[in-house]
Amino acid sequence: MSRPGARRRAVRPRRVLLLSDCYRPTVNGVVTSIDELRKGLIEAGHDVRVLTVGPVRRTTFDGSVYRLPSVDARHIYPQARLGRPVDAETFADLVAWRPDVLHSHTEFVAFWWARRLAHRLGAPHVHTYHTLYADYTHYFFPHQRTGRALCAGFARQTLNRTTTVIAPTAKVEQLLRGYDVRVPIAVVPTGVDLSRFTPGPPSQTLRDSLGLTPGIPVILSLGRLAAEKSVTEVVDLLARVRDEPWQLVVAGDGPQAGTLRQQVERLGLNDRVRFVGAVDPAHVPDYYRLADVFVSASRSETQGLTFLEALASGVPVICRDDGSLDGVVLDGYNGRRYREPEEFVAAMTWLLRDPALRRRWSSGAVQTASGFGRAAFVDAVCATYDRARGCVGTARWAA
């Protein structure tokens, strides 16, 4: 990986347009992945712009990010917005800029902007499939089986229009093949900034502000508090480890925040659990450095960024077994993947009782994460761009 702040010389500089219906200041895994890619591409010498939606009634452009007017779509998904599908001035500006690659990251208005531009410019359209919509049908459709069938049909009809699809994991590739997605699929794990997520001493100020007890292991849950993340399962399982000393920090917000607080109170765990709420992204590394163990029961992951961030920070992981974590969370090396409640209880008890084991798994965590840096991520994405260019045959690479 290059030094923090170093600018790698690009072999073939590209003009890349990243398109997404969500972007900063929204905080989620899709936005984090896009931002890591954007920063890495710029470090490598590429010219990068972003097309996304904004909160105002006119299009804005700050030199790198176009923000389209949008409407509130929270009835579909919390915090969702839908951008303007047509904006002649912005479209003309992008055509004049002539991006070499259109790389979309969501399947709604931004996707169709990518399709129109690809058709106009003859440039490849690469798409990253970030979200397992079948795990989110409870937000927009009451019947699970019908909702999943609709998700499969939507993915098939949408993704088969692209040049190439990027799947963050082999699990996602297998799912898309099952949906009958026939275009080339490249498996490219999302990378993390290894200069930002590093082991280090915890902030005493942060510990004091959370009222954490010295000498008692800290368990961290970090992410959106929503049904698909299964944080309620984590709390239920930790309640079975009552005989061991531990304290849980829940960092994040979402529609299940109230339910979780009620669950903690019902289980008599108020003195062990600290609810932090949403965390400023700038302070996220401080929360990992607080932790002795990172925990998750989510089965809706496509890229597992929080798992990688925890590992890079030297924090062992105990999580629900899921194909998205193959090659990431390695049993007995940097953590444990459980299938049954008894496996969780045994692994957590073992880890809480044995500081030497936590140190060994911490070392394994850092070693594993070293293979998932931002530079490797960007190199793999650029290789996918090259292959997509070959499929189209008409893209113009910048001199």
Does residue 275 surpass a pLDDT of 60?
Answer: yes
- pTM (2 decimals)? 0.88
Helix (H, G, I), strand (E, B) or coil at 45: coil
Residue 71: its pLDDT value, please? 73
Is residue 220 domain-shared with residue 280, that is, in the same domain? Answer: yes
Q: What is the mean pLDDT of the chain?
A: 90
- pLDDT per residue over 25-62, tens digit each? 888 889 999 999 999 999 999 999 999 998 888 899 99
Sequence-distant (≥ 6) Cβ neighbours of residue 7 within 8 angstroms: 43, 44, 45
Indicate whether 227 belongs to any domain: yes
pLDDT of residue 7: 45
* Residue 259, pLDDT score: 97
For the cut 60, the answer to whether the pLDDT of residue 225 exceeds it is yes
**What tens digit of pLDDT does each residue of 118-145 get?**
999 999 999 999 987 555 444 445 556 6
385 and 354 housed in the same domain: no
Q: Average pLDDT of 88-109?
A: 96
The count of structural domains within the chain is 2
234 in a structural domain: yes
Cis peptide before 285 (omega within 30 of 0): no
186 and 241, same domain (yes or no): no
Residues 132 and 109 in one domain: yes
Segment 4-18 mean pLDDT? 68
Q: Tell me the one-letter amino acid at 300.
A: S
* Segment 6-23 mean pLDDT: 78
Whether residues 356 and 381 share a domain: the answer is no
185 and 216 housed in the same domain: no
The pLDDT of residue 396 is: 40
Give the dihedral of Cα atoms 31, 32, 36, 42; nearest 10 deg.
40
Q: Same domain, yes or no, for 48 and 151?
A: yes
Q: What's the rounded mean pLDDT across residues 11-18?
A: 88
pLDDT tens digits, 317-376: 999 999 889 999 999 999 999 999 999 999 999 999 999 999 999 999 999 999 999 999
pLDDT of residue 137: 45
Asked if 69 and 155 sit in the same domain, the reply is yes
Which position has the higher pLDDT, 385 or 79?
385
Query: Is the pLDDT assigned to residue 6 strictly greater than 70?
Result: no
Which of 192, 217, 205 shows the shortest CA–CA distance to 368? 192
Beta strands across the sheet bearing 164-167: 60-61, 65-68, 47-53, 15-19, 101-104, 125-128, 164-167, 185-187
Instruction: Check whether 399 has a pLDDT greater than 70.
Output: no
For residues 112 and 132, state if they share a domain. Answer: yes
Whether residues 235 and 169 share a domain: the answer is no
Which range marks the domain in which residue 79 is found?
15-191+373-392
- The answer to whether residue 10 is domain-embedded is no
Q: Is residue 3 part of a domain?
A: no
Q: Is the pLDDT of residue 300 over 80?
A: no
Q: What is the pLDDT of residue 83?
A: 66
Does 349 reside within a domain?
Answer: yes
- CATH number of domain containing 323: 3.40.50.2000
Do 229 and 179 sit in the same domain of this protein?
no
- List alpha helices for the chain, DSSP H: 29-43, 88-97, 109-121, 144-159, 170-178, 204-210, 231-239, 257-266, 284-290, 305-312, 341-353, 355-369, 374-392
Q: What is the largest CA-CA distance in the chain?
A: 66
User: Are residue 291 and residue 235 in the same domain, yes or no?
Assistant: yes
DSSP result, 310-357: HHHTT--EEEE--GGGTTTS-BTTTEEEESSHHHHHHHHHHHHH-HHH
For residues 169 and 189, give the distance between their C-alpha atoms in angstroms, rounded to a whole number: 6
DSSP-based three-state secondary structure for 100: coil
